[in-house]
Structures are given as C-alpha cells and as structure tokens.
Amino acid sequence: MNLDFTEEQDMLRNSARQFVSTECTKAKVRELEKSKEGYSPEIWNKMAELGWFGLMIPDQYNGMGMGLLDLVVVFEEVGRNILPSPFLVSAALATPPIVEAGSEALKKEFLPKIAAGELILTMALTEKSAGYTPDCVAMKAEAKGDNFVLNGTKLFVEYATAANYLVVVARTKSGGKPEDGITLFLVDAKTSGIKITPFDTTAADKQCEVVFKDVNVPKKNVIGEVNKGWPVVQSALRKATIAKCAEMVGGMAAIQDMAVAYAKERVQYGQLIGTYQAIQHKLADLYLRTIMSKNILYEAAWMAQEGMDCDWKVSTCKAWCNEAYKLVTEDGVHIHGAIGTTKDHDASLYYRRARAAYSIFGDTEDHREVVAKSMGL
C-alpha cells in the first residue's frame, strides 16, 4: 500500500485548497448558512468547471474517471475551509448507485448532466429510526402498470430543497431477510405528491423531511434490480462515509492550525499561552488525533478503491473521526478561551459541524457494532 500523493493528486489538492479558500470565505459560509438555498449556485457552477462532480464518473459519460482517493483529496480541503453545498450527497452518495447499477439508458441520460453540474442529486434513505441498516427501511413502493407508486416519509434528506432528483430507497417486498426486497428509484423532486420540509439544524446543513403520497415513478427509473438494491446502498454509504470522514479530517487540520497560531500570539500573565504545559499538551493532542484520523481515513479509502472487504475499516474510521473531531473542536474552543465560544469566531463553525457530522451515516455506537461483528463477536 502506497499512500503517497501522486503528482496529479498534489495538483488537485492545491487547486482545491486555493479555490475553496478564495471562493468561500468564512463570511460567505455564514451568509450561506442563513440563506434559503444553503449553497451558492455561482460557486456550484465554478466547481463544475473544475470537474469535481465528475471525478468518479467514467470518461465515456463526460466524467474524469478518477478514483475514491482523488475524491477524498478534494473533500479534505472542502472540510478544511468549510464549503456549504450539496457536493457530498450528490457526488459521493446519490451518483454512485447510477454509475454502479444504473441501466445504460439512465447513465447516458443523467451522468453527463451530473458531471456538468446541471443536476443536483441527494439520497432519501433514513426514516423515523434514523438508522442506516436495511431493517430501518419501511417506506413502500408498489408496482402498478408501468410505474411504481411510492408512499411514506423520509427524514434527514440533506439538501432535498436543492435537489433536482432524489435517489429513493424503498421496500418493494416484505418478508424474509431485512436486506431483501429493497429497491432504488431515481425520482424527479418536482413529481406530484412530494412535499419537502427543511429542518433547523445545528450546522445549518439543510436536512429535510420528504413526504411521498401516491408518487408515480416510471419503472425505467429503477436503479439496479428490483428487490436487490441493498448492496448498491451499502456501496454508496461506504463512499459517502469516507467522504464525510475526509471533511472531518480537514476540519480537524483547520482547528489545529488555528489553535497553534493563537497559542503563539496570545499573551496571558506576561507570557505566550503556548509556553504553558497545559496548552502544549492540548495542542499535542490535537495533532495526534488529526494525524491518526488522516492515516485511518486514507487506508480505508485505499481499501475501498481497491475493492477490498473494508466495511470494518470504514466503520473504524467513522467511529474514530466522530470522537476525534468532537474532542479536537472542543479543545480548540478551550484554547481560544471565551472568544472561541462566540458565534462570530471561526472555531464555532467547526464545533457545530463536528456535532452534526457525528450522527451522519451512523454515530460511534453504530460503527462500533460493525467493528465488533468483524471480530466475530
């Protein structure tokens, strides 16, 4: 395993860092948090010009045909600076099912438009249990003529208000194992019978409730095989979880840099606070948690890219990053003192995102269960 960046990845990282820091200042982040859309269409179009939405789309569909590690490089920089947008849910969660399991007709129709930034997608998966396992999928889809009719409610659908299409996970057959009878549908978000209601959240990340009432979806919009969609969902969750962890690692690195810089300039009791052992040890812990998170992240991404059995490693990564990001942001706020607790300080932006990221794609307890099962427990 060689995790050194290639020359192309170095260029991708530098380009992403410069772009995000230039186009999305912290003032812009705060502006987007308060906006109805929650993202900037102007910045979105510029991201499309960079080819980010097509990173993992094959070149025959106007994508870049790159790998998961390349996507991780970009998402680490997105997390380092904070870039509110549907980028993760569209590129890393909702698009992979079409790439991996969609019919040729769906691929030809949708992938070039996704790569060009003309379409935004998100996945409607979680329900009232907020779980990411097949037994948590209860929403019904019934075959009727040339359509399937969807009825039910999905919760925590990120950026549903901005999405053109929803990848909906529904149950087309009951009985048997929980993973049997699950099917994926590509649904136009403006279809009659769909009602989208956004929530107010800690990170202002545009989580939504989506209610489906007698929503007709053409059978040609089924992604993959009917009743056999859960492995496709698992594959998408694997990629999206890794991308989210990359965002978290980037956020940790940003907090570390901010805290070290502050410790070198803030004077208390006649000397720099960075000379006090208590502060030095906190800063050392920030570094240790950040570098360990990054190492686990890139190993998990490499294993997933190579097609290895890695659900346990991805869960290891998410469980670790959940706790590390939480502690890093807490210590970052403590080092900055009272000013770090204010909404006007940048540390609070990362602190709130750490809290939100903790439960997205599974909290620590969920992923500890996966790791325990991989140990035969």
Q: What is the pLDDT of residues 97-137, one digit of tens each?
A: 999 999 999 999 999 999 999 999 999 999 999 999 999 99
CA distance 301 to 67: 9
CA distance 301 to 246: 9
| Predicted confidence (pLDDT) per residue in 142-184, tens digit | 999 999 999 999 999 999 999 999 999 999 999 889 999 999 9
| Predicted confidence (pLDDT) per residue in 300-341, tens digit | 999 999 999 999 999 999 999 999 999 999 999 999 998 888
Domain boundaries, the chain: 7-120, 122-228, 231-374
The residues facing 122 across adjacent strands are: 166
Instruction: Please state, rounded to an integer, the average pLDDT across all residues of the chain.
Output: 96
One CATH from 1.10.540.10, 3.40.190.10, 3.40.50.1360, 3.90.1150.10 for 7-120: 1.10.540.10
Q: Within 13 Å of residue 164, how many CA atoms lie on the same side as its CB?
A: 9
Residue type (1 letter), 351: Y
Angle at which helix 277-305 crosses helix 230-263, to 10 degrees, equals 150
Among the residues of the chain, which ranges form H helices?
A: 7-23, 26-34, 41-50, 68-81, 87, 95-101, 104-115, 230-263, 277-305, 311-336, 346-357, 364-374
User: Average of pLDDT values for 253-275?
Assistant: 96
Q: Output the CA–CA distances (angstroms, integers) from residue 197 to 7, 39, 84, 154, 174, in the order listed.
A: 44, 17, 19, 11, 28
Query: Residue 177's CB: how many other CB atoms inside 10 A?
Result: 9
Decide if pLDDT at 14 tops 80: yes
Whole-number pLDDT of residue 280: 97
CA distance 11 to 4: 13
Decide if pLDDT at 2 tops 80: no
φ, ψ for residue 255, nearest 5 deg: -65, -40
**Contacts of residue 365, Cβ cutoff 8 Å, sequence gap at least 6:** none
As a whole-number percent, the residues of the chain with pLDDT over 70 amount to 99
CB 67 within 8 A of CB 80: no
Helix (H) or strand (E) holding 267: strand 267-268
13: nearest Cα among 75, 56, 67, 83: 75
CB 227 within 8 A of CB 185: no
Confidence band (pLDDT; 50, 70, 90) for 204? confident
Confidence band (pLDDT; 50, 70, 90) for 1? low
CA distance 123 to 201: 18
247: nearest Cα among 127, 128, 354: 354
Both tokens assigned to 355: 């809290």
CB 250 within 8 A of CB 78: yes
CATH number of 122-228: 2.40.110.10
Decide if pLDDT at 4 tops 90: no
CA distance 207 to 210: 10
Exposed, middle or buried by CB within 10 Å (0-12, 13-18, 19+), for 284?
Answer: exposed
Please state the separation of Cα 91 from the chain's center in Å: 9
Decide if pLDDT at 201 tops 90: no
The residues facing 166 across adjacent strands are: 122, 187
Helices and strands per DSSP (H, E), number in the chain: 12, 10
Which CATH class name applies to 231-374?
A: mainly alpha
The residues facing 267 across adjacent strands are: 272
CA distance 326 to 334: 12
Query: Residue 62's CB: how many other CB atoms inside 10 A?
Result: 15
